[in-house]
Amino acid sequence: MCGIAGVYFLGKAGTKSELSSVNAMCDLMVHRGPDGEGFYYDKKNRIALGHRRLSIIDLSPNGKQPMSNEDGTLWIVFNGEIYNYKELRKSLEGKHTFRSNSDTEVILHLYEEKGESLLNDLRGMFAFAIYDSNKNEIFLARDRIGKKPLLYAVHEGKFYFASELRPILFASKISRKINIKALNYIFIRNFKHIPEPYSVIEGIQKVPPASYIKVNKDGISVVKYWVPSFLKEKRDEKEYLLEYGNLLTESSELRMVSDVEVGITLSGGIDSSSILYALSNYKNLKTYTVGRSENDPEILRSRIMAQKYSTIHKELFFKQDSIRLIPHIIYFYGEPFSLFTALHSYAMCEGISKDLKVVITGNGADEVFYGYDGSNNMLAISHLLKISRFVPKSVWAILRSIASKIGNERLEEFFITLQADKNRIKGDLYRNSARKTIKLYSDGARAHVAAHDYGKLLDRCSDECNSQNYIEQSYYCALMLENAHSTTIISDLTGMAHSLEMRSPFLDQFMISFGARLPIQMKVRSVFNRLNNKYIMRKFIEGKLPDEITKGSKMGFGYSISLSELLRNEWKKDAEDILFNRSLFKSDIFSNEFVTKAFNDHISGRKNYSNLLFSLIVFEIWYEMFIEMKTPDEIKFVS
């Protein structure tokens, strides 16, 4: 796990001064790699590569990056871990000379053999760049789910890339113009973050998950290289349970591959508990959980699992003044977000990092095996859509209009779902949600929001999915796009802020492909019983783990912490000061009248605007840091 950066000159060669900007880019990512740094400068001044190292595999100097092939014609900078690198190395030995025991060198030689098709062989999380001096071409790639971030920009004849936004902003001197249409994503439905390919700054983009980029004299091309198949197989339940159990063990054990100690996070739910079960043969495992008090349900249930498997367990507690963490999280992430759970994840990672460099999490199980409470409704709608097609769309349109007029948002969305074309349901829901956010903005900003199609990304994602079933399309979009905040962003952001690598067995590509092939009834058993969601996971651990875990209600990190109540109580003074006494309305983006009403309605209890208000608080703090150029310590709090 590391930080990578580079500057590539698209036309004429750069100066030594321009090339050296990569040094400063890496200085801004020391937290990603406190164990060392390295640089490569092309002799013809066409490219500079930089790397910050967090040593996890091959701790020796031989694992240092940037790394070259035998004749120095290829150079790589790599962030991530390839869990099957030892197996891949065996196929390359005899063809190539290895100078290290690192997974980085395996990627480099595999690229020599296979070109971009090497991505099909990699099992892990990664973002890397390979420079081919013979072709004067740079190849950048990101893992299938986007566990590792990768951003880029083209400015004044130069191509910049990095693991974070700040280094690109600093080196490129690109204008800090806010991308209002991108910003609005954090306010609509479930995004809570700005999705790929957008960023909050105009001109800076993100490489999408499962994609690679080639940059050369002909320009920039972006290619998607992986989509899971939802084609089903005729098998019985026992066969599926056997395959799931084997995959759980294999994907969990692969994530124990490390030259440093590895721990596990526990939430008291079946996701992290299943991982601990799969790794129960490992002795003296360190486990961690976070909560607000000794009596939090997740603290109590995690304690049961820790005692059952005699782990070295540590309980970490979320403090009421954690609003002060927001500037530090934004400093590392570089964008506004609506990720309240990032605060207690940040606190948890801070505690874990005092002991370890690597920890395994249960991220992704809900998206792969349909664990969210809304799964039952989605299943019901999937059934209903089979007969709703016989009703004229005009009927659903009239009912939708009536629901909108009486202010019943849930009923309105229900009729939108029935009215929409098969592959446009998610997109139409987001287009509808985006229209409702227009009142949040000032007169000058509304045109940016009104002109953008907020359903287009969802349309494209739905088209990729080779299932016509609504629940499968919906969860595929959640996995690849909507829920990136919970599956990938938070773990990388809060982990790397503390030089901590977080690994996710449920986001293994073979686990995801298995989940896609799995019949829906093996994931959501019925439209009524929420406790039977993630059916295959529950069935597999039935009788193996305590009933409190297998039959308990859904549990995840921070479930017992209420953002709504924090804003009405402990955070009220700070929220009021940040929203109304700072720069929020100087930006001429938001409507003072609407924000004031939303705040008053929330504090009085008339409505719950907690997500909106939290997003605005985060934006204000981001604005002070990235537009007004304040440091995290210069952000003021009144309580």
Residue numbers annotated as active site: 2
User: 100: buried, middle or exposed (CB in 10 Å: 19+, 13-18, 0-12)?
Assistant: middle
Question: Hey, what are 473's tokens?
Answer: 């399309």
Give the number of other Cβ atoms within 10 Å of residue 573's Cβ: 12
Question: How many other CB atoms are there within 10 angstroms of residue 607's CB atom?
Answer: 12
Query: Helix 610-626 crosses helix 592-604 at what angle (to 10 degrees)?
Result: 130
496 with 339: CB under 8 angstroms? no
**Phi then psi dihedrals of residue 18, to 5 deg:** -65, -40
The CA-CA-CA angle for residues 148, 179, 160, to 5°, reads: 45
Phi, psi of 53 (to 5 degrees): -110, 130
Residue reference for tokens 């480099």: 108
Q: How far is CA 143 from CA 148, 224, 312, 517, in A?
A: 7, 11, 32, 21
Question: Which DSSP symbol is given to 15?
Answer: P
Its sign, for the CA torsion 51, 52, 56, 58, is positive
Residue 469 corresponds to which tokens in the numbers above?
A: 């079933």
| The amino acid at 461 | C
The side-by-side arrangement of strands in the sheet containing 312-317 is 312-317, 286-291, 262-265, 358-360, 501-503
Please give the Cα distance from 302 to 286 (Å, whole number). Answer: 12
Query: How many angstroms separate the CA atoms of 510 and 516, rounded?
Result: 10
Distance from chain centroid for Cα 178: 22
- Residues 6 or more apart whose CB falls under 8 angstroms from that of 282 comprise 256
Phi, psi of 484 (to 5 degrees): -55, -30
3-state secondary structure of 36: strand
Number of other CB atoms surrounding residue 452 within 10 Å: 18
